[in-house]
Structure 1
């Protein structure tokens, strides 16, 4: 009987140890996630600030271009030329962001042209062996 009490006591200690280890693991993971979140938040703030400063720098550059062109052209023409130049740059940057060759379609799928908001619908549902295409709602 004493042996059984000793085993029960060890089992209780094992359960207690497992609970403590689980608690320590949870706290460690929670602390690590907090630290990662803090670092990611700081990085995001720096990227946002960088983007805002770059936007103002681009505006100042565009204004300098307009003023430079306005020395020999009317102001409206200088602004129009600057807008066209910025539009071309934006178009080229957008093109650089998209891959030149779309990924090959999977076997049995039709290629979807770039810019299509959703894949085309097949003309009819595929038939699978053992499946009634009419479904149970059409049975009498």
Structure 2
């Protein structure tokens, strides 16, 4: 009996050591991954800053090229319109496209007369409620009704 108590103490000690090693390993791995992510974020930030300056230099070049043949105010206005158009196109490209959940808004639904569900205003992309069926649950479909017997009585 005394020998089993000693083994139980060894088991507890082994479990504690294993938990400690696991915690240290996980912590080291998380630190390594966080360091890599910080480095990647810093590189993306630097890339964005350099791209901003490159865009400003390009806009200045376009403005100066236009100013060679136009009044300065017209060159500045044309450059501003070009930049606004590019910003609008980029904004449109960045917007999420609405995805159609399985079984809704497919060509098959439109053939059978069901209308695709309309999403909430604001372009959220997904419908927060289930689509409305074309007929009430349990009601016979129009193609299943008998025109001779409209009340389904035998």
Classify the TM-score, shorter chain: 0.7 to 0.9
Matches within 5 A, 1:81-92: 81-92=78-89
Q: Does 1:112 align with 2:109?
A: no
1:53 partnered with 2:50:
yes
1:25-64 matches, within 5 Å, as 25-64=22-61
Q: CA RMSD in A?
A: 2.1
Q: Which of 59, 65, 85 pairs up with 1:68?
A: 65
Could you say which structure has the higher helix fraction? 1
Native 8 Å contact 1:62 1:82 kept in 2: yes
> Unaligned regions of 5+ residues in structure 2, if any?
105-116, 129-154
Q: Secondary structure of the equivalent of 1:35?
A: helix
Cα distance in 1 for partners of 2:73, 2:12 equals 80
Provide Cα deviations, 1:18-46, integer angstroms capped at 9, x if missing partner. Answer: 00000000000000111101110000000
Question: TM-score normalized by structure 2?
Answer: 0.67
Partners of 1:21 and 1:32 in 2: CA distance? 16
Q: Structure 1: any 5+ residue segments left out of the alignment?
A: 121-140
The normalised TM-score by structure 1 is: 0.73
Deviation at 1:111, TM superposition (A): 1.7
Partner of 1:79: 76
Partner of 2:19 in structure 1?
22
Q: What is the number of equivalent residue pairs in this alignment?
A: 113
User: How much does 1:103 deviate?
Assistant: 3.1
Tell me how far apart the structure 2 counterparts of residues 43 and 86 of structure 1 sit (CA, whole Å): 29
